[in-house]
Structure 1
Amino acid sequence: MHAFEAAFAEFDPDATVAPVVAVHLTAQQRRSEQPVHRHRKGQLILALRGSVTCHVPTGLWMVPPQCAVWIPPGMTHSNRVSQHGQVCLLFVEPDTAPLPEVCCTLSISPLLRELILYLAAQPTDYSPDGPTHRLVGVLLEQLGRMPTEQLHLPVPAHSRLRRIADALASDPANRSTVAEWAQQVAMSERSLARLIKAETGMSFGRWRQQLHVIVALQRLSAGMTVQRVAMDLGYESVSAFITMFRKAMGKPPGRYLAERNRGEG
């Protein structure tokens, strides 16, 4: 077993008495993936370097540097960390703090990042009336104030839409139209468009764009160039890719990731 997966397997957050615990992990020469599992505690996955992709039953969540995904208690999920990635995992006992009841991607402030890193360096059996416990109170208060990021890709439950989602995830450069996909899954174009909107809340074009943003962040965070990512996603030019990214995220990819790596909002 790879060292990263072994560390995941050896640490059982639900076996700890402390209501909030953290662990700092690093991937090595290849990307690392954690099998589908669940915890009694809620889990925050903070990406320190590289990226994390989290699969839950209803979607795909992307965690670029200086962001985190919150997974509510009891929800099944799996995590994939990019090559040379670093993550910090924070586990929170249910009802310890008023945290979201659904998955969401959070922008993490430099203060909260340092609080989580500090907790990860402390023993998990800290005293309930000691300084670490008091710090945890501040940490949870800060966590509740973090803004959300729109880095969620709804994954359709319908079997025909799953086929399309799986095909696009395997080949994000696929430029098939709704009409062409409709023919492949034996539906009318109008019925497929309505079904995609009902299942994802997005048009097909918007849904595919969201997939492109997530894949782009995944690859850019792993060190791939903007030119290579644009080509891999099937864009005719780098400028066309940058325009798409800026429209979706409000900033060009280089600036977006530079600010994330510096811990800026």
Structure 2
Amino acid sequence: MTTGLGLAGYEPDSQSESAVAFRVQVLEDEQFIPQHRHRKGQLILALHGAITCEVENAMWMVPPQYAVWIPGRVPHSNRATPGARLCFLFIEPGAAAMPEHCCTLKISPLVRELILTLAVRKKGQGTSLALQRLVQVLFDELPQQPQQQLQLPVSAHPKIRMMVDTMAAEPAVWQTLGQWADHFAMSERNLARLVVKETGLSFRRWRHQLQLILALQLLIRGHSVQQAAHALGYDSTTAFINMFRKGLGQTPGRYLSGLTTPSQ
């Protein structure tokens, strides 16, 4: 099934199947789904474009060939890039050995095709036994997908929230701990302690993770490496590439080439 991101009139928890999947085509504009929750666990797989989910005081980035797993009853909101193509998979609680916490998963070609096959199956199409076998293979493989660190810890603390929103909107301007300490009229030491307390990361590591997420968003939207480096305030493309490689283990070009998926 293919639907718009608004999913008007669709209630996944009303379905009794252990696994329900459907395709989502985002419109030209960026789409946002406010905070909500499901009884079923939800896997959001990016096929083209990207989606950012805010879950449990963290921001999760989902580029193509990745998925974010959201356990049942966990409040979350979603923001998809213009023209994104996604696949939503809802899993009945306890049906698969999935993590009890939110995480980003690197999805193998096999699992991707299993999910897409399930999404196009209709009631009465194929035998029930064949569908059960497909779902069982999916449930065997899905928990084996490796977890990736593509999340940014986000606190409800007003200062942390202001920092995230402002740095995401103007990453080239608000870059240093000293700038924020002056803005909040507090010492750098006290602000550094607040960041660690609220996010579990030092300011430098926390900012690096945000920059990594912003870099992925820009590159997936079609910006060049040079454009992304400039947008994030880097003086040189080389410094930007080094930041990217440090976070994801590959240069932007090599990483993006690995995100290429067959047209769906």
TM-score normalised by length of structure 2: 0.93
Tell me the equivalent position of 1:4: 4
Q: Hey, what's the Cα distance between the residues in 2 that align with 1:189 and 1:128?
A: 64
Instruction: Give the Cα separation in 2 of the matches to 1:251 and 1:231.
Output: 19
Q: CA deviation at 1:254?
A: 1.2
Partner AA of 2:19 in structure 1: V
Bigger shift: residues 240-249 or 165-174: 165-174
Kindly, what percent of the aligned residue pairs are identical? Answer: 49
Instruction: Give the drift of 1:54.
Output: 0.5
Q: Measure the CA separation in 1 of the matches of 2:188 and 2:140.
A: 48
- Say if 1:126 and 1:133, in contact at 8 Å, map to a contact too: no
| Equivalent pair of 1:104/1:148 in contact (CA under 8 Å) | yes
Q: Structure 1: give runs of 5+ residues left out of the alignment.
A: none
Give me the whole-angstrom Cα distance separating, in 1, the residues matched to 2:18 and 2:154: 32
Aligned amino acid, residue 238 of structure 2:
S
Which TM-score applies when normalising by structure 1? 0.92
CA contact (8 A) 2:195 2:201 kept: yes
Match of 1:134 in 2: 133
Q: Which amino acid aligns with 2:107?
A: I
Amino acid at match of 1:91: F
1:134-213 equivalences in 2 (<5 Å): 134-213=133-212
Unaligned 5+ segments in structure 2 are none
The aligned length equals 260
Partner of 1:24: 23
Q: Secondary structure at the match of 1:217?
A: helix
Cα deviations by residue, 1:103-146 (Å, 9 ceiling, x for unpaired): 10000000000000000001268899521112111101111000
> 1:74 aligns to what?
73
1:126–1:174 distance in 2 versus 1, CA, 3 Å: farther
Give yes or no for contact 2:108–2:145 (8 Å, CA) kept in 1.
yes
Deviation at 1:24, TM superposition (A): 0.6
Structure 2 CA distance, aligned partners of 1:213 and 1:256? 12
SS for the counterpart of 2:168 is helix
- Tell me: CA distance 1:125–1:241, structure 2 relative to 1, closer, same or farther (3 Å): farther
Q: Contact conserved, 1:230 with 1:241, CA < 8 A, in 2?
A: yes
Report the Cα distance in structure 1 between the residues aligned to 2:123 and 2:80, rounded to whole angstroms.
24
Equivalent-residue separation in structure 2 for 1:127 and 1:51 (angstroms): 32
Distance 2:247 2:192 in 1: 21
Q: Which residue of 1 aligns with 2:50?
A: 51
Q: Secondary structure at the match of 1:138?
A: helix
Counterpart amino acid of 1:216? A
Structure scoring higher RCO (CA < 8 A, sep ≥ 6) equals 1
State whether residues 47 and 261 of structure 2, in contact with CA within 8 Å, keep that contact through their aligned partners in structure 1: no
